[in-house]
Amino acid sequence: MGEEKKPGLSLIQGRLIEETRFGSLKIVAAPEKAAPFDVQAFAFEEDTFLVLSADTQIRDPKIPLAHIMTRLIETQPEVPGSVLVRGNKPLRFLAVIHDLNQEPSWREEWIDAALRGIFKEAEQRQLRSIAIPLLGTIHGSLKKVRFVELLKGVLQKASFQHLTRLWLVVPPGTSHEVVGFLQNGYRKES
């Protein structure tokens, strides 16, 4: 008897990463764990009191409770739509798009303003590469396609002297869909 042939297994190549161009800007959609290139800044969804980026680990504050209470009382909310810059190599762009005292906590005009602010900060700091998640879809209920429409509107009005690469940080399995939204503008409820 001849050797029994077993069915061959083949790996079906799925693309974690998709890319397109928007003018001189190379846009790559990829999940967080599949970084397509190093970036000089990451953007994050944030709220007016910076709760979303707060350290969740409990630590001894090493300052008197009265000082902590005074700081809390004097704390003023950040302006929705603004972008705060923190950290260093890579920078953290905190996009203030949520007010946790409102329902829903986000608004499209805040996301639009934050996107404009992120690109302004990137250009002022002469950054070549940044990463932005689909703002409003992580801690909010904005649809992916609507985020892409807002992004396209901002990109159409922007001009870049320094920024050459944008990594859109997307949920796993959505790279192709998001790039399709960018390229074709086709509407599918997502």
Q: Output the domain CATH number for residue 121.
A: 3.40.220.10
Quick: pLDDT tens for 33-42. Answer: 999 999 999 9
The pLDDT value recorded for residue 2 is 53
The pLDDT value recorded for residue 76 is 87
Q: Is the peptide bond before 90 cis (omega within 30 degrees of 0)?
A: yes
28 alpha-carbon distance from chain centroid = 12
Residue 86 lies in a domain: yes
Number of domains in the chain: 1
The pLDDT value recorded for residue 63 is 77
Would residue 141 be called left, alpha or beta, if left means φ above 0 and alpha means ψ between -120 and 50 degrees?
alpha
Residue 81 lies in a domain: yes
Quick: pLDDT tens for 104-148. Answer: 999 999 999 999 999 999 999 999 999 999 999 999 999 999 999
The pLDDT value recorded for residue 12 is 38
Question: Which amino acid is located at 57 in the chain?
Answer: Q
Helix (H, G, I), strand (E, B) or coil at 65: helix
Going by C-beta distance under 8 Å and a sequence separation of 6 or more, which residues neighbour residue 152?
22, 182, 185
Question: Which amino acid is located at 184 in the chain?
Answer: N
The pLDDT value recorded for residue 132 is 98
Burial of 186 (0-12, 13-18, 19+ CB in 10 A): exposed
Helix (H, G, I), strand (E, B) or coil at 165: strand
Residue 142 lies in a domain: yes
**Distance in angstroms (rounded) separating the CA atoms of residues 125 and 66:** 38
Residue 67 lies in a domain: yes
User: pTM for the whole thing?
Assistant: 0.83
Residue 3 lies in a domain: no
**Distance in angstroms (rounded) separating the CA atoms of residues 74 and 88:** 27
Residue 189 lies in a domain: no
Structural domain for 121, as ranges = 18-53+62-184
Residue 2 lies in a domain: no
End-to-end CA distance of the chain: 55
Q: Is the predicted pLDDT of residue 10 greater than 60, yes or no?
A: no
Residue 7 lies in a domain: no
